[in-house]
Structure 1
């Protein structure tokens, strides 16, 4: 249920005021979220458990051009994009993340993959719905810049761990952090892919992004598009919630494998240290 739309010049302050759910984020995650808010144009907050409320918060700085009669621009796209998130936010629940760490041994990891896949789908779906709103060419250019930035940063560093076992509940925080860092280019690729599909453009990410086309992840973007289209077209996301995210998991796992390979090559360690570090993709 959408509780309201807030337009503000202080996005961080309003979000902090609304988002008071205890234990929702770790201190590190909270700090990353705050840094992201400083450059964000808006967001949708999901507050509550089984039937959460949705709050749309928009940065007034980005929306000032709506007051000028100059025709559609990027601000229109931002507004429609954030409202589109509400449409697809039916299955996003903060409680699922808290319950994740209490699941039996071996059961938590697959649920974690599905939870981590959902934001990728969510951005694709919102971009697909909002593709023709406002300055669609400007939005395309923005998404091209975003994916170029994340490809340039790949493999982005993650906090080192000496963990050997990744199949135990205690590994969940390290696992989630590692997958989130590794799959960030998939998130920005989902923005661009949703925009292209929404506009009915046949060419994909590697056609519109030279950094993507020449990166070690080049072979992952078409499988990503196929997975996202599969979820969109079969309609299971309305009925089955996050279990419908299954097509994305194999793509994310491949990106994590590439991230681990690239990280090991760029940060060589002794054989003993490498063995101690382990791999989240290891069986």
Structure 2
């Protein structure tokens, strides 16, 4: 980068007291080289992302140990757990911590996935570059959201269970959309697009059957809270994976038809919900500076509710809470149509 290009960029926002920890590096020479390139990458990203609230960076070959090492900044608060599934593999995590009463982000990376950052000729360089930038996107998003819609933690402590669950899901999908939209131009743009499309498309084909299995379980346990939690894990998954793809497309002003990009999605029962979801994400992006508070997530919360309805769980506002029920259908009964014969008989007799 020449001096003239350097002058056209915004000033760096990397905290001067930033601490970087490397764990599990056996080759000290490589560790030093890696650390130098990581610092350069962080500094470069800090010119296009607001990293004022970056509390620290940890890189380790054992991701679980690296996350466990993070100082949460509050007594009796443990670092978050993480899960990796066949659909979503955790290779980095943005951990929210407290420093002097302010929420900040400590970023943790799996070393194996970003070690190629030491040489732009290595095959994994573009992936490493984007992974580093994406997690830093969460740092910028946290500050933006916290200044525009404060009070999230307080709301979760005081609000109703169902409303809090919907809000939590809405903010989770928003965070990924925002991080991808902020950093989608960094790295191999086309490879990222194909990866995000593949992940979303696979989830679109799986979510409905999995959510209905949880509704079948509800017939036995009759716990609405359990139903919302367990079915919600599956109804939220395509939203979360779509948020990566949609944020990436918007970052690059890519207008590719989703039905062409994701053929399974075209036959998934989501083709009405996802466009509304995309509109809500864009609306939240455009309104985040309006200082509307947590109401900025209302559109996304409604889409989250609709995702339950799409799977067979009806959710109706009832005062400050919600009425939740799962109508009897062959798809959500343990024995399918055989159970529905009995249900119809009981309904005809007025016993159900």
Question: TM-score band (shorter)?
Answer: 0.7 to 0.9
**Cα deviations by residue, 1:180-239 (Å, 9 ceiling, x for unpaired):** 321210110111000000000123533311111221112111111111111111234x73
Distance 1:124 1:210, change over 3 A: same
Q: Distance in 2 between matches of 1:34 and 1:193?
A: 23
Contact residue 84 and residue 90 of structure 2 kept, 8 A: no
TM-score normalised by L of structure 2: 0.63
- Out of 264, 268, 271, the residue aligned to residue 333 of structure 2 is 268
Residue 35, structure 1, aligned to residue 70, structure 2? no
**1:115·1:242 contact (CA, 8 Å) conserved in 2?**
no
Give 3-state SS (helix, strand or coil) of 1:3's partner. strand
Q: How does 1:140-219 map to 2 (within 5 A)?
A: 140-155=193-208, 156-157=210-211, 159=214, 160-162=217-219, 166=224, 171=225, 174-219=227-272
Name 2:141's counterpart in structure 1.
88
Q: Which one has a bigger Cα radius of gyration?
A: 2
Which whole-Å CA distance do the structure 2 matches of 1:229 and 1:96 have between them? 20
Q: Distance in 2 between matches of 1:266 and 1:14?
A: 43
More contact order relative to length (CA 8 Å, sep ≥ 6)? 1
User: Could you say if the C-alpha distance between residues 36 and 131 of structure 1 is closer, same or farther in structure 2, counting changes exceeding 3 Å?
Assistant: same
Contact kept, 8 Å, 2:155 with 2:164, in 1: the verdict is no
* TM superposition score normalised by structure 1: 0.77
Aligned length: 260
Counterpart of 2:118 in structure 1 is: 67
1:254 aligns with 2:306: yes
Cα deviations by residue, 1:34-65 (Å, 9 ceiling, x for unpaired): 43599322110012496323110011111122
Tell me, what secondary structure is at the counterpart of 2:255? coil
Normalized per residue, the structure richer in helix is 1
CA pair 41-165 structure 1, distance change in 2 beyond 3 A: closer
Gaps of 5+ in 1: 275-283
- 1:239 is aligned to 291
Deviation at 1:96, TM superposition (A): 5.1
Question: RMSD value over aligned CA atoms?
Answer: 3.5
Other-structure match for 1:5? 57
Q: Is the 8 A contact 2:152 2:294 kept in 1?
A: no
**Whole-Å Cα distance in 2 between the matches of residues 60 and 120 of structure 1?**
25
Change in CA separation of 1:10 and 1:241 when aligned onto 2, cut-off 3 Å: farther
- In structure 2, the gaps of 5 or more residues are 1-52, 314-325, 344-352
In the alignment, structure 1 residue 55 sits paired with structure 2 residue 111: no
